[in-house]
Amino acid sequence: MANPFTLGIASGEPLPDGVVLWTRLAVDPLGTDPRRPGGMAPRAVEVSWQLAEDERFTRGVRRGTAQALPVWAHSVHVRVAGLAAGTDYFYRFKAGSQQSAVGRTRTADAADSTRPVRFAVASCQRYEHGFYTAYRHLAEERPDVVFHVGDYIYESRQSARVVRALGPLPGETSRLHEYRQRYARYKTDPDLQAAHAAAPWVPTWDDHEVLDNYRGRGDGSAAFLRRRGAAYQAYYENQPIRVRPDDGNLQMYRRRTYGTVADFMVLDARQYRDATTMLGAAQEQWLLSRLVTSPVRWRVLVQPLFFARRFVPGPAPNLRPDSWDGHPAQRGRILGVNAPGLAVFSGDVHNAWAGELKADFLDPASATVGVEFVSSSISSAPPDTDGPAVLAANPHLRFFDDRRGYLSCSAGPEELRVAFRAVDFVDRRGAPVRTVGEFVTKGNGLTSENASSK
């Protein structure tokens, strides 16, 4: 067999006692035959896996085999349990005579731990728009966990700005084999593979994993629901997540808790959306209950869309209806809980922002009930945004930067610290990374450290 690990390896969904190990076999990752995704023959392949305490695998912990089935595009999701909390492990796969690279994973901290958790947040990585250099730097930081807040792939071809070509892929993605190809194109990137191999991921989606600006059941047609179901299946096949799609649906909202320090509530802002709700009734009630009852220091919302009010002045002043500004009532119910230690992490807009969440965004003197940090994109081009004008029109917003990058964060018993990490170019490899802004919160307010908007 030729090398089947062309899409890399990954781990995800860390619990105090376990993780998910992932790979997807593909000897020809961009193969166009829908009957042979990844160039794999339509038969099961046995894959062995190992987990150890060291990179040389001299202190083995677990080993086993899994079946890579053609119905799931030869993806493997191994749920490993019975591990020690807050511990680094190393893993690898083998298929036939071929062995994968070695990955590092880490379990979540024990329920009584007060150790600070180091995490990263990333989003929006259109392949054509540039190289994933930011991921190489993120990998070198070796965080405890990485949260991806959506637009992992883009379903359409971008011709206006092309730094690197997609290759032999369709202009629009709508069928299962096309979504599989699109993921394969992205996952061949060595910097993305490095970031996945460096730490466990907890991803959620936005719209481009299915269709730009889609919501819920779309137009309700059978054609759209088939497309959505295909996109959801391909997402599962290509991510280290625990839950399989069921009858065209895939539950993405869940929580990951790190000791007494942080309760990460990962939201789905697309699947249940309609004209009246962003989250749907069941997800909203789940979230409100967690915000009220969670006993930890930081209640952290991990979700794709700009949460704070963001009024954009200009010739055509507007609020963006596709963001939370289109659902102010539901946003108000979430903020109305007045949960202590509330922090929201977002993406989507291809710029970096930081701000405070107000009880009444129209009244700057109203109580501050939380903070928000918006990750810029890894590669996706920024919109033409007059950052200083938006900051002036929204006094609760404190920081703006239009470079590509990610968030590097630490949450501890006393404070939450967020560094905005940025690269100056993505049109070629090799950009250095630097911190362009850093903020600290010790409660519901925001303190700037080394931050100047650009």
At 317, the pLDDT band (50, 70, 90 cuts) reads: low
**447 vs 21: which has the higher pLDDT:** 21
Which pLDDT tens digit goes with each residue over 109-139? 999 999 999 999 999 999 999 999 999 999 9
Pair of tokens at residue 187: 């996952």
Q: Could you say which architecture CATH assigns to the domain 1-107? A: Sandwich (2.60)
Which pLDDT tens digit goes with each residue over 241-300? 999 999 999 999 999 999 999 999 999 999 999 999 999 999 999 999 999 999 999 999
DSSP 110: P
CATH 3.60.21.70 region(s) of the chain? 110-449
Give the pLDDT of residue 35.
95
- Rounded to an integer, the average pLDDT of 151-176 is 91
- Mean pLDDT, the chain, integer: 96
Q: Is the pTM of this model over 0.95?
A: yes
Give the pLDDT of residue 319.
81
Asked whether 216 and 271 are in contact (CB, 8 A), the reply is yes
- The Cα–Cα gap between 142 and 104 comes to 9
What lies within 8 Å, CB to CB, of 288 at 6+ separation is 333, 334, 337
**3-state SS track over the chain:** CCCCECCCEEEEEEECCEEEEEEECECCCCCCCCCCHHHCCCCCEEEEEEEECCCCCCCEEEEEEEEECHHHCCEEEEEECCCCCCCEEEEEEEECCEECCCEEEECCCCCCCCCCEEEEEECCCCHHHCCCHHHHHHHHHCCCEEEECCCCCCCECCCCCCCCCCCCCCCECCCHHHHHHHHHHHHCCHHHHHHHHHCCEEECCCCCCCCCCCCCCCCCCHHHHHHHHHHHHHHHHCCCCCCCCECCECCCCEEEEECCCEEEEECCCCCCCCCCCCCCHHHHHHHHHHHHHCCCCEEEEECCCCCCCCCECCCCCECCCCCHHHCHHHHHHHHHCCCCCEEEEECCCCCEEEEEEECCCCCCCCCEEEEEEECCCCCCCCCCCCHHHHHHHCCCEEEEECCEEEEEEEECCCCEEEEEEEECCCCCCCCCEEEEEEEEECCCCCEEECCCCC
What lies within 8 Å, CB to CB, of 365 at 6+ separation is none
What lies within 8 Å, CB to CB, of 242 at 6+ separation is 13, 20, 77, 79
pLDDT at residue 413 above 80?
Answer: yes
First to last CA, the chain: 51
Give the pLDDT of residue 454.
67
Give the pLDDT of residue 3.
98
Within 10 angstroms of residue 124's Cβ, the number of other Cβ atoms is 27
- Rounded to an integer, the average pLDDT of 411-440 is 97
- Rounded to an integer, the average pLDDT of 46-62 is 98
Find, among 266, 269, 214, the residue nearest to 242 by Cα.
Answer: 266
pLDDT at residue 1 above 90?
Answer: no
Asked whether 192 and 132 are in contact (CB, 8 A), the reply is yes
At 161, the pLDDT band (50, 70, 90 cuts) reads: confident
- Rounded to an integer, the average pLDDT of 86-96 is 99
Give the pLDDT of residue 451.
63
The fold of 110-449 is: Purple Acid Phosphatase; chain A, domain 2 (3.60.21)
- Rounded to an integer, the average pLDDT of 307-336 is 90
At 318, the pLDDT band (50, 70, 90 cuts) reads: confident
- Rounded to an integer, the average pLDDT of 424-447 is 94
Which pLDDT tens digit goes with each residue over 230-244? 999 999 999 999 999
pLDDT at residue 306 above 70?
Answer: yes
- Rounded to an integer, the average pLDDT of 410-429 is 98
- The Cα–Cα gap between 291 and 339 comes to 6
Burial of 185 (0-12, 13-18, 19+ CB in 10 A): buried
Which pLDDT tens digit goes with each residue over 386-400? 999 999 999 999 999
- Provide the percentage of residues in the chain whose pLDDT is more than 90: 92
Burial of 30 (0-12, 13-18, 19+ CB in 10 A): middle
- Rounded to an integer, the average pLDDT of 368-381 is 98
- The Cα–Cα gap between 160 and 219 comes to 28
Asked whether 76 and 237 are in contact (CB, 8 A), the reply is no
Pair of tokens at residue 405: 């990058």
pLDDT at residue 332 above 90?
Answer: yes
What's the Cα-to-Cα distance from 96 to each of 10, 47, 188, 210, 307, rounded to whole Å? 19, 8, 21, 34, 48
Which pLDDT tens digit goes with each residue over 61-90? 999 999 999 999 999 999 999 999 999 999
- The Cα–Cα gap between 282 and 48 comes to 39
- The Cα–Cα gap between 268 and 194 comes to 26
